[in-house]
Amino acid sequence: MSVRRLAPDPIQPASFAFTAANENWIDQQIAKYPEGRQASAVIPLLWKAQEQEGWVSRAVIETVAKRLGMAPMRVLEVATFYTMFNLQPVGEFFVQLCGTTPCALRGAEALKKVCEDVIGPQSTVTADGKLSWLEVECLGACCNAPMAQINVDYYEDLTPASFRQLLDDMRNGRATKPGPQNGRTGSEPEGGPQTLTDKALYDGSMIGAGDWQKRVVEQRKAAAEAAAAKAAAEAEAKKAAEAEAKKAEATPAAVATKPATETAAAGRPKPSAPAQPSSAANDTPAAKGKVEKKDVAEAAKPAATAKPAAVAKPAPAPAATDESKPELLTAARGGKGDDLELIWGVGPKLAKMLNEMGVWHYDQIAKWTPAELAWVDARLTGFKGRALRDDWIAQSKKLATGWRPESKLGDKPAE
């Protein structure tokens, strides 16, 4: 190791200042330390200065000391202790040649001679400013000795010829390839790996894993097949449910379910019967136990027998794209929900569906926007269109004020 002193006065610059970008970086580094401990940033600051100038001059040391509130001597101690700080100007390509035992045994002495021949004495820069060199201690790449670090890259497995070529390439701006220079890709033996070549070392069989790879492949395949079958079954069920719902909606008599049963309950002439799913039938006033069984039977007659006058206008379907999830509750407020069956068109089944969805109170429904109404409607399987047709929002607004209809079926909205 050479004696580490500052460069002679004639080559010391008069001043030094960090660039604006580096000033910004320095502020961030200093901020990492607690108040009064800014001196801890001395190495990062010296390193940044060296990155900027290539070496650490007296002016750098004084600037860093001032910036950190340190005595310049303290910064000098750090700069001269750590060999990573260059105390002399360096060339554009700064060669740090390892001269420690493994590299020495593998030919570092011959490389030193190349440096002296091509560059000159240590710590001097070539006239063109391109090259300078320094012998350093072990750089930790002994497996690929002899080696040199040039700027930030390692060049390994050097020979005098390859090293001379390397320096020539750098000086003349030709591209170089860091790493081993003898064809190795790492620190494997020259000529390729000689040991640990048995493939069984890497397939688990040595530790009794057997054909675990095959098992894993089979398990993954089975899991993928099960997932695909499940997805197909779900898609099929969804399709069937949608078709069923569409069928119920498309039947004019289905739309007239409530009026039909309501009229029956009121003793008026019975309108056409709904040809709708059993779930819909369950949600009629008949299902509430408010009409005679024969009324239900008659209500269940095919739509073909219905009188045209009894066919209510089809419910306008809200646009699917206008859906918006309304406010939903996890339970009724105060432990008791409103009697949603007082809403015309809502029977026990629909009331249950609404409760399960999170709708318990009139004021919830009264606040729905058209998009929220559409969101709820789309999820009332088998009753699609009913909320809009019977104007639940308007009904709920009235109910929320405390008003109550005469009939427990609700107050039929005006056509």
Binding site for ligand FES (CB under 6 A): 98, 100, 102-103, 138-142, 145, 147
Q: Which residues contact 233 (CB under 8 A, 6 or more apart)?
A: none
Burial class, 7, CB count within 10 angstroms (exposed 0-12 / middle 13-18 / buried 19+): middle
Smallest gap from Cβ 175 to ligand FES, in A, equals: 24
Largest pairwise CA distance in the chain: 119
Measured from the CB atom, the residue of 140 and 186 that comes closer to ligand FES is: 140
Gap between the Cα atoms of 55 and 84, Å rounded: 10
Alpha helices in 14-98 (DSSP H): 20-30, 42-53, 58-68, 72-81
Q: Residue 404 CB: number of other CB atoms within 10 A?
A: 13
Measured from the CB atom, the residue of 106 and 288 that comes closer to ligand FES is: 106
Gap between the Cα atoms of 55 and 94, Å rounded: 11
Measured from the CB atom, the residue of 160 and 405 that comes closer to ligand FES is: 160
Closest among 69, 24, 19, 26 to 46, alpha carbons compared: 26
Smallest gap from Cβ 53 to ligand FES, in A, equals: 27
Measured from the CB atom, the residue of 180 and 274 that comes closer to ligand FES is: 180
Closest among 169, 90, 148 to 123, alpha carbons compared: 90
Gap between the Cα atoms of 312 and 254, Å rounded: 9
Smallest gap from Cβ 137 to ligand FES, in A, equals: 8
Smallest gap from Cβ 2 to ligand FES, in A, equals: 17
Smallest gap from Cβ 106 to ligand FES, in A, equals: 8
Measured from the CB atom, the residue of 61 and 148 that comes closer to ligand FES is: 148
Measured from the CB atom, the residue of 185 and 321 that comes closer to ligand FES is: 185
Smallest gap from Cβ 116 to ligand FES, in A, equals: 18
Measured from the CB atom, the residue of 137 and 225 that comes closer to ligand FES is: 137
Gap between the Cα atoms of 288 and 374, Å rounded: 26
Length of the chain: 415
Smallest gap from Cβ 215 to ligand FES, in A, equals: 45
